[in-house]
Amino acid sequence: MEDLAQNQKKTETQIQSKTYTSKKFSFEEDLKRQNIHTMLEIYGEEYIEKIANLTR
């Protein structure tokens, strides 16, 4: 019976960790998109050209 309880706790912890990780990545991706959008608003075509030069 104790083994079942320990296994359940391990499983719950793994699920919680995965959920936290996916939320963290989602937040980071949203922040990246927002930053890129802001840079485009501020610098426009100049920013696009600089990014194009950096990614060649």
pLDDT value of position 45: 87
List pLDDT tens digits, range 1-43. Answer: 455 555 555 655 555 555 556 677 788 899 999 998 998 899 8
Q: Which among 31, 41, 42, 36 is positioned nearest to 54, based on CA atoms? A: 36
- Going from N- to C-terminal start, the domains of the chain cover 23-56
Longest dimension (CA), the chain: 65
Amino acid at 12: E
pLDDT value of position 30: 92
DSSP string, 3-40: HHHHHHHHHHHHHHHHHHHHHHHHHHHHHHHHHHHHHH
pTM (two decimals): 0.44
Q: Would the pLDDT of 55 be above 60?
A: yes
What tokens appear for 47 in the block? 């920013």
pLDDT value of position 10: 60
